[in-house]
Amino acid sequence: MNVFNLEDPNAKRYHTWNQHLKDHFGEKVFKVALDGGFSCPNRDGRTGGGGCTFCSESGSGDFAQSALDPLPLQLRKGIAQQHKKWPQAKKYLAYFQNFTNTYAPVDVLRSRYEQVLNEPGVVGLMIGTRADCLPPETIAYLAELNQSHYLWVELGLQTIHESTSRLINRGHTYEAYLKAVEALRQHDIQICTHLINGLPGEDHAMMMESLKRVLLDSDIQGIKLHLLHLMENTAMVKDYEAGRLRFLEKDDYVSLICDQLEIIPQEIVIHRLTGDAPRKSLIGPKWSLKKWEVLNSIDDELKRRGTYQGIYDIRRRGERHD
Q: What is the pLDDT of residue 221?
A: 98
Single out the residue of 319, 173, 195 nearest to residue 257, CA to CA.
195
The β-bridge relationship of strands 282-284 and 29-34 is: unpaired
State the Cα–Cα distance between residues 34 and 108, nearest whole angstrom.
Answer: 16
Contact 199, 230 (CB under 8 A): no
Ranges of the chain with pLDDT below 50: 59, 61-62
Contact 124, 98 (CB under 8 A): no
Cβ neighbourhood burial of 78 (10 Å; 0-12, 13-18, 19+) = buried
Which pLDDT tens digit goes with each residue over 228-262? 999 888 888 888 888 888 999 999 999 999 999 99
State the Cα–Cα distance between residues 266 and 248, nearest whole angstrom.
Answer: 26
pTM of the complete model: 0.93
Q: What is the pLDDT of residue 59?
A: 46
Q: Is the bond into 285 cis (omega within 30 degrees of 0)?
A: yes
For the domain bounded by 17-312, which CATH number is listed? 3.20.20
Q: What is the pLDDT of residue 64?
A: 58
Q: What is the pLDDT of residue 318?
A: 52
Contact 56, 233 (CB under 8 A): yes
